[in-house]
């Protein structure tokens, strides 16, 4: 699952403190990206070998270059959006959610964990996961699958009840 719980307090301290890290799932690793671009370039160049050295070759070359550049840019943009991270720090005195989006300033929400409710509801997506303290509501794990949001909701509710 693209999230991980860690105990943020030292083991011998007796304190209860949790750290949750969330990140988007990447279906295409970096090595796969390199292979995909390479194989696509070779497959697009194969038909060009028949017209190599002719005027037709020079006519087709810019279009193939534009297609390869478009693929490269689209995949790079996808990778950049995959750098999004969410971090939840939870202890007896505070709950802090920090969202890190590439190229944007961090967004931070702090509240008292005693008032926080974890809610799964029908919303813009299936099993829309939100945290609310009565004043403000934030979405958590927008990039997770519905099953992962359900699991995270159960775990987060359990950890909040441990803190209280």
**pLDDT attached to residue 17:** 79
How many other CB atoms are there within 10 angstroms of residue 32's CB atom? 11
Confidence of residue 53 (pLDDT cuts 50, 70, 90): confident
**pLDDT attached to residue 12:** 60
pTM, two decimal places? 0.70
CA distances from 86 to 43, 68, 99 (A): 39, 33, 4
- Label residues 76-92 b or e (16+ Cβ within 10 Å = b): eeeeeebebebbbebbe
**Could you report the per-residue pLDDT of 58-76, keeping only the tens digit for each?**
888 888 889 999 988 988 8
Compute and round to an integer the Cα radius of gyration of the chain.
23
Inter-residue contact 32 to 54 (CB < 8 Å): no
With a CB cutoff of 8 Å and minimum separation 6, the contacts of 117 are 131, 132, 133
Q: From edge to edge, which strands make up the β-sheet containing 128-132?
A: 117-121, 128-132, 137-139
**Could you report the per-residue pLDDT of 77-124, keeping only the tens digit for each?**
888 877 888 999 888 888 899 999 888 899 999 988 888 888 888 878
């Amino acid at each position: 699952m693209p999230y991980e719980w860690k105990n943020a307090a030292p083991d011998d301290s007796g304190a209860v403190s949790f750290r949750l890290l969330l990140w988007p799932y990447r279906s295409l690793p970096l090595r796969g990206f390199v292979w995909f671009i390479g194989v696509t370039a070779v497959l697009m160049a194969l038909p060009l070998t028949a017209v190599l050295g002719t005027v037709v070759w020079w006519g087709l070359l810019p279009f193939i270059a534009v297609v390869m550049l478009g693929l490269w840019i689209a995949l790079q943009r996808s990778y950049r959006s995959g750098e999004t991270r969410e971090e939840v720090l939870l202890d007896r005195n505070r709950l802090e959610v920090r969202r890190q989006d590439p190229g944007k300033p961090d967004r931070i929400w702090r509240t008292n964990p005693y008032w926080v409710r974890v809610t799964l509801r029908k919303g813009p997506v299936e099993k829309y996961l939100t945290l609310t303290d009565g004043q403000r509501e934030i979405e958590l794990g927008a990039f997770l699958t519905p099953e992962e949001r359900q699991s995270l909701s159960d775990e987060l509710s359990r950890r909040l009840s441990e803190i209280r």
